[in-house]
Structure formats: structure tokens, C-alpha cells
Amino acid sequence: MSENEPSRGSTPPFPFTLVTLVDSGGPPEWARVWNALERLLDDAKGPAAFLEVPADGAAHDQVLAAVSAVPPEMKKVLVLGIGGSGLGARAALSALKPLQRGPGAREVRVLSNVDPVTVADAMAWFDPADTLLNVVTKSGGTVETLSQFALFADRIRSRGGDDALARGVVVTTGPGEGTMRKVSSSLGCPTLDVPPAVGGRFSVLTPVGLFPVALAGHDTEKLLAGARRVVDGIRGPDRAVQPAIRSAAHHFDLMGRGVSVRVLWPYCDRLASLGDWFCQLWAESLGKKGDSGRVGQTPLRALGSTDQHSLLQLFMEGPREHCLTFMTVGEPWPAMPVPDFTSLEPALGEFAGKDLCQVFDALGQGTMAALVQEGRPLARIHVPRLDEESLGALFAHFEVETALAGYLLEINPFDQPGVETGKLFAHGLLGRPGMDDYRRQAQALLTEEKES
């Protein structure tokens, strides 16, 4: 299979291309794919509401108004959020970092893990006088985010009392009775809404990701416009060439052939966090107990060229269980000609005068060629220019691909029942009223494990 950008006539080129270099599967079962796509599109007003997000101008306006209302002395922003409430913003901030930013751009960081050393570092950076706290939790009740909130809110209150909390905190949360929703109404601080039908890992283009990205000075309208290219494409007449649909069909086929690991391999440090975001999306959406048994495919994020010195050996000669998606970027890169040191050693002449980007590119091309020679299932996404528009398109591409793969697998890609048990045990261990049984069960399970 080989597919390219779905551009037509005078339509501007699609923000990225997808080419399958080695297929090693069979032809997609198109009837099944179109059926799954119809069901997905029908669900856009229900569980697949993420499809409506890029066109939600009202939510975007709410975000821009909230950005304008942030007090000017707030030069920095700390986002608290984990899983789908943190990974997307981190991916966007990292991917867009070298771009020109708009006036009033803030320095934005995301804190997810509750590891006390990491939190202590963030506390050392956090100055309540100039740092806004954006607490992001769709459910409003996530242990990591709520415990971090208490630590940072205490810093803000100690400096300026409750007024400072109302001025220095913005909450992004779902509607309903969640703890953080109640906290925000007690504080009287600005609150942004997460659409209830959009699952956490599909929420990067809602206020969850848009608010931090806009505060960092990036163009969120372009981000949404890029995403609309993908969503409009799967609704339009050229469905058969849409990268998200072809890729979902391809990976569904590979899963059926026992290819149990999917490697996303950006050749670009700025896309490493996008790889982490994708891993959560693919793992949590597809790893399910379906009606016909357990399904899913383990996602793995590699990074070029670093992982040529680590994981590549396994992909080349290990078990035939991997398929790979390379991601390459055309621009922007800083010019960095390699100085000539042949006077010291002639072997250094291989690099002399070349741009570092050419060296990087040769390493990527060499690795792709080696994988093709070895017959490993390999696709390449090439992004001619990594900017807001192409990033928005990539977010939407992976979301559509993942949801469609879930519909093909006949599971619900929008829930995550398997993560609930661990949360209940943790609440029991933390002493939540009425959850003593969970504490006792967790303690018993871990004791038995130790003794076995």
C-alpha cells in the first residue's frame, strides 16, 4: 500500500504526508472499514464528540477571553494535569517551542507526576507573585492533581490570602459535581469547561490544551484549522486517501496478524512528547476486553537518532512483533554547518561543511532503508513544516485513527475500565471515608505477593 497527501486541485497541500514503505499485511477489508467509519461519524454527537471539537468556535472564544483576563503580572504558568489532562499540552508546547510567539507570551510548564522530588522542583520555580496556576482535571477528582493543587494553593494563599487564590488560579474541569468544580466555585476563580462527551485523551483541542498553548503565545486558531482539515477530510468525498483512515485500516490488519507492538519513531526531539501523548491514546483506547477476547497493541515511543543505539537492534533482529511509524520534519531547523577539522583527522571530512540537519537526515534515511531491507512493516509521516497547523492536523489524525481502530476492533475506545481498580485501592490506602475494604484488600494482595 502506498498513499500520499489528499490534496486536490487548488486545495492547499495537506499539512503532512503518510507513505507506507513496507506493508506486509493484506489489502484492507474496505467494507468493514467504511462500516466502522459510518458508525464513528454517527457517534460525533455522542461518544465520538471529539470530532466536533475543532469546529467549536464558542469554546475557543471562551479560551481566548480567559487568556485576555489573565493578570499582566502573571508572566509564567504552571499547569497541573495528568494523563489526557497534561500530555497534550506538553506535546504542543514542546513541538511549537522554536516558533515565533505572539505578544504577551508566557513561559508555560506542565506538572503531571506526583513524585515529591519533581514537585519540589516545580515549587522552587513557582513564584505566586508572577505565576498563574492552571488546574486541569476533567473528573475533578484525580489524586495527583488534587494533592498538587493543595500544595501550590497553599503557597498562593500564604502570600496573598483568598483574593490571591481567586486571581492566581484558573480551573479547567468538567461539569457536574467534581471536587475541583466545587473548589473553583468556592474560590470564585475563572473556570473553563471540558465538554462532558470528550474523553480526557481526546481533549487536547478543548480548553484543556488550548488555554496553556494560547498562554504560551501560539496561534490556537491555526491549531484548530489544521485539525479541521483532517475531520473535514474523513467526512468528504476523498475518504479513501485520508491518512487517518488508511492508517487505521492498516494497523487493524497488522493487529490481526499478531503484530503486537506499534512503534512511533519521531526523528525530532520536539515530537518526543507527541509520541508520549500518542502512547496513552493508543494504549488506553484500544487495550480492552472485547466481546471476542482481549485486544490492543502496545505502543512504544522511540526517538531518532538516539534509539538507533538502543531499540533498533531489537526491531531488526528480534521477534517479528513490531510495526513502525517514522516521523520526519522538513523545517524549522537552525542552520548549523559542521566545522572542518580534517587538519586534525581526515576521517572528520565526512561531516565537514555539511549542515547538522543533513547528518541527522542521513541517519534517519539509513535506518529506514535498513528496516525496509529487513521487511519490517514501516510507514513514514513527513511534516514539511512543524507549526500550529500541522500539529493540529497530527493531533486530529492520531485521534481519528485511534477511534476508528477501536470501532474496527469492536470495542469502546473512549472508556478505560481497567484503570479504575487501582484508583479505588489508592483511595482506600489514603483513608477516604467508606473505602476501608479497598485498603484491606490492597494490603492483603500485596502481602500475599511478598510471601509467594
Catalytic amino acids?
Answer: 284, 309, 423
The verdict on 84 binding ligand PA5 (CB under 6 A) reads: yes
Burial class of residue 16, CB neighbours in 10 A (0-12, 13-18, 19+):
buried
The verdict on 139 binding ligand PA5 (CB under 6 A) reads: yes
- The residue range among 138-146, 230-238, 296-304, 313-321 that interacts with ligand PA5, by the rule CB under 6 A, is 138-146
CA triple 329-330-334, angle to 5 deg: 95
- 379 touches 20 (CB < 8 A): yes
The verdict on 83 binding ligand PA5 (CB under 6 A) reads: yes
What's the closest the beta carbon of residue 260 comes to ligand PA5, in angstroms? 22
Q: Which of the residues 212 through 271 are near ligand PA5 (CB under 6 A)?
A: none
How many residues touch ligand PA5 under the rule CB under 6 A: the total is: 14
Distance of alpha carbon 433 from its chain centroid, rounded? Answer: 34
What's the closest the beta carbon of residue 85 comes to ligand PA5, in angstroms? 4
Q: Closest residue to ligand PA5, Cβ-based?
A: 200
The residue (of 94 and 145) whose beta carbon lies closer to ligand PA5 is 145
What's the closest the beta carbon of residue 440 comes to ligand PA5, in angstroms? 25
The residue (of 141 and 160) whose beta carbon lies closer to ligand PA5 is 141
The verdict on 6 binding ligand PA5 (CB under 6 A) reads: no
Cα 38 from Cα 205, distance rounded (Å): 23
Cα 322 to Cα 97, 259, 325, 424, 450, distances in angstroms: 31, 6, 10, 34, 34
- Report, in this order, helix, strand and coil percent for the chain, each rounded to 5: 55, 15, 30
Among 106, 181, 201, 218, binds ligand PA5 (CB under 6 A): 201
Extended beta strands in 302-451, E state:
322-331, 378-385
Contacts of residue 262, Cβ cutoff 8 Å, sequence gap at least 6: 251, 254, 282, 297, 298, 299, 300, 322, 323, 324, 325
The residue (of 83 and 195) whose beta carbon lies closer to ligand PA5 is 83
What's the closest the beta carbon of residue 49 comes to ligand PA5, in angstroms? 13
The verdict on 284 binding ligand PA5 (CB under 6 A) reads: yes
The residue (of 179 and 260) whose beta carbon lies closer to ligand PA5 is 179
The residue (of 284 and 307) whose beta carbon lies closer to ligand PA5 is 284
The verdict on 205 binding ligand PA5 (CB under 6 A) reads: no
Cα 215 from Cα 207, distance rounded (Å): 11
The verdict on 273 binding ligand PA5 (CB under 6 A) reads: no
What's the closest the beta carbon of residue 174 comes to ligand PA5, in angstroms? 7
Beta-carbon-side half-sphere exposure of residue 381 (alpha carbons within 13 Å): 29
What's the closest the beta carbon of residue 377 comes to ligand PA5, in angstroms? 27
- 253 touches 25 (CB < 8 A): yes
The verdict on 299 binding ligand PA5 (CB under 6 A) reads: no
The verdict on 427 binding ligand PA5 (CB under 6 A) reads: no
Provide the sign of the torsion angle of the four alpha carbons 230, 235, 241, 244, taken in this order: positive
The verdict on 142 binding ligand PA5 (CB under 6 A) reads: yes
- Residue for cell digits 475506545? 413
- The residue range among 10-18, 82-90, 347-355, 360-368 that interacts with ligand PA5, by the rule CB under 6 A, is 82-90
Cα 96 from Cα 86, distance rounded (Å): 16
Cα 407 from Cα 402, distance rounded (Å): 9
What's the closest the beta carbon of residue 351 comes to ligand PA5, in angstroms? 43
- 44 touches 52 (CB < 8 A): yes
Q: Which of the residues 161 through 200 are near ligand PA5 (CB under 6 A)?
A: 199-200
- Residue for cell digits 512511533? 264
Cα 164 from Cα 188, distance rounded (Å): 11
Q: Which of the residues 405 through 424 are near ligand PA5 (CB under 6 A)?
A: 416
Cα 27 from Cα 101, distance rounded (Å): 44
Contacts made by residues 330-336, CB under 8 angstroms, sequence distance 24+: 330/382, 330/383, 330/384, 330/385, 330/386, 331/384, 331/385, 331/386, 332/98, 332/99, 332/385, 332/386, 333/357, 334/98
- The residue range among 136-144, 293-301, 302-310, 358-366 that interacts with ligand PA5, by the rule CB under 6 A, is 136-144
Among 145, 184, 206, 390, binds ligand PA5 (CB under 6 A): 145
The verdict on 148 binding ligand PA5 (CB under 6 A) reads: no
What's the closest the beta carbon of residue 242 comes to ligand PA5, in angstroms? 24
The residue (of 163 and 420) whose beta carbon lies closer to ligand PA5 is 420
What's the closest the beta carbon of residue 281 comes to ligand PA5, in angstroms? 8
Cα 51 from Cα 396, distance rounded (Å): 8
The verdict on 138 binding ligand PA5 (CB under 6 A) reads: yes
Query: Which residues of this chain interact with ligand PA5, rule CB under 6 A?
Result: 82-85, 137-139, 142, 145, 199-201, 284, 416
